[in-house]
C-alpha cells in the first residue's frame, strides 16, 4: 500500500485549461453528424456549439472535472495522499461550472488559483464515448482568456518561484504562449525541471511555432504515438521514422540547458512505454486489460503523467515514475473520465 508522501506543499506548478467535461456514450452517427472521428481531440468550431446542449438533453451525460493538466494534478494528488502539493493556474468564468471545478479541485487536493473572466462562460469539453474509444471537442471559452498578468500578481508569482517542478500542456499553447515562456524561463533560471506534453496532433499541425519556441526549455516531453507522428510530419522528418527514431530526434532538438539533456517519454496504448535519453531507448511494458475491464480511455494519458509526477516530485528514479504512470493509466481506464476510485495501490 502506498503511504502518504513527504513532498512539500506547492512543489509542483501546472498551467492549463480548466474545463468541465460533459461525458456521454453516443452512437457513431453522433460523431459523424458533427464531422468528428473516433479518438479525435479538437477545438470546437461554430458548427460544434450545439453538441453540449444535445449531450445534456439527449444522452446520459455526466459532469466531470476536466482539462488535461488539472486532470494530471488531481491524479498526482490522489497518489500522493497529501493536499496542496500541486498548484494549478487557469482561467474560468463566473458561473456554476466554475464552482463545480473549484469544488472538484479542492476535493482532490489541488491548490487551484483560477483567473476569473466574468463575461465568458467556463470552458467545457464534450467527451463522446463510442465503445472503448473517446473523442474530445473542447470549447475553451473562459479558459482562452488566461493572461500573463495573473502570474504576475505577487501571491501567484511567489507560488511559481516556490515550486521545484513545472508542467504545462501543449494545449495551453493555443491560449497564452507568453505565460508558458515566463514559467519556462523561471524554471531554467532556477535550474528546475520543466515538463511539457505534445497533447494532441492538432498542436503540432497548427501551433508548431510557439511549440518550437518553448522546446529549448523542455526537460521532459511526453506524447503518445499519434502526437509524436504528427510532430515528426510537421517537422518534415522521414515519413518512415518509427517511434524510437522520432524520440531520438525529439531529445536531440536544441536545448538551452545542455547540462540537463532532454528526455522523451512516449506512450503507445497497450504497447510498451518508450523512455528515450541521449540515443538510448528503454521499454516499459504496460499491463494489458481485458476488453470488459475498459470503461473509458478518456484521461489515460493525463493519468499517466499524473502518476509519473507523483513520484518525480519525490525524487524517485525515472523507471519508478514510469511504472507509476502505467499504474495510474491502468486504473483510470477502468473508471469513467479521468476519475479514480478507492485508495491508490502503487508499490515501487
Catalytic residues: 302
* Terminal alpha carbon distance of the chain: 10
Cβ-in-10-Å burial (0-12, 13-18, 19+) of 322 comes to buried
CA distance 318 to 91: 32
Contact 90, 13 (CB under 8 A): no
Cβ-in-10-Å burial (0-12, 13-18, 19+) of 347 comes to exposed
Rg (CA), the chain: 19
Q: How many CA atoms lie within 13 A of 338 on its CB side?
A: 32
62-66 and 220-224: which strand pairing? Answer: unpaired
Contact 187, 193 (CB under 8 A): yes
CA distance 131 to 319: 32
Cβ-in-10-Å burial (0-12, 13-18, 19+) of 154 comes to exposed
Alpha-carbon separation of residue 281 from 181, 215, 249, 277, 278 (angstroms): 29, 20, 12, 7, 8
Residue 264 β-bridge partners? 221, 276
Amino acid at each position: 500500500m502506498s503511504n502518504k508522501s513527504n513532498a512539500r506543499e506547492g512543489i509542483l506548478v501546472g498551467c492549463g485549461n480548466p474545463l468541465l467535461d460533459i461525458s456521454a456514450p453516443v452512437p457513431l452517427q453522433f460523431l459523424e453528424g458533427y464531422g468528428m472521428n473516433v479518438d479525435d481531440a479538437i477545438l470546437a468550431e461554430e458548427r460544434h456549439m450545439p453538441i453540449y446542449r444535445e449531450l445534456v438533453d439527449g444522452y446520459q451525460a455526466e459532469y466531470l472535472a476536466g482539462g488535461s493538466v488539472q486532470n494530471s494534478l488531481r491524479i498526482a494528488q490522489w497518489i500522493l495522499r497529501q493536499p496542496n502539493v500541486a498548484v494549478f493556474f487557469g482561467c474560468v468564468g463566473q458561473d456554476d461550472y466554475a464552482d463545480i471545478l473549484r469544488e472538484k479541485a479542492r476535493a482532490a487536493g489541488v491548490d487551484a488559483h483560477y483567473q476569473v473572466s466574468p463575461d465568458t462562460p467556463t470552458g467545457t469539453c464534450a467527451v463522446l464515448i463510442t465503445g472503448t474509444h473517446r473523442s474530445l471537442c473542447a470549447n475553451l471559452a473562459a479558459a482562452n482568456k488566461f493572461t500573463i498578468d495573473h502570474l504576475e500578481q505577487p501571491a501567484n508569482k511567489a507560488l511559481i518561484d516556490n515550486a521545484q517542478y513545472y508542467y504545462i500542456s501543449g494545449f495551453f499553447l493555443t491560449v497564452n504562449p507568453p505565460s508558458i515562456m515566463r514559467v519556462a524561463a523561471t524554471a531554467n533560471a532556477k535550474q528546475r525541471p520543466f515538463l511539457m506534453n505534445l497533447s494532441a496532433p492538432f498542436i503540432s499541425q497548427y501551433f508548431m511555432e510557439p511549440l518550437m519556441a518553448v522546446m529549448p526549455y523542455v526537460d521532459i516531453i511526453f506524447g503518445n504515438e499519434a502526437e509524436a507522428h504528427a510532430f515528426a510530419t510537421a517537422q518534415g522528418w522521414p515519413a518512415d521514422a518509427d517511434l524510437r527514431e522520432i524520440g531520438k530526434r525529439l531529445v536531440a532538438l536544441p536545448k538551452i540547458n545542455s547540462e540537463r539533456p532532454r528526455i522523451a517519454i512516449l506512450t503507445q496504448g497497450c504497447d510498451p512505454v518508450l523512455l528515450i535519453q541521449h540515443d538510448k531507448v528503454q521499454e516499459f511494458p504496460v499491463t494489458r486489460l481485458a476488453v470488459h475491464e475498459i470503461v473509458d480511455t478518456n484521461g489515460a494519458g493525463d493519468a499517466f503523467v499524473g502518476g509519473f509526477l507523483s513520484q518525480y516530485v519525490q525524487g524517485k528514479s525515472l523507471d519508478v515514475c514510469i511504472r507509476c504512470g502505467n499504474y495510474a493509466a491502468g486504473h483510470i481506464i477502468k473508471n469513467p473520465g479521468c476519475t479514480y476510485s478507492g485508495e491508490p495501490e502503487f508499490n515501487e
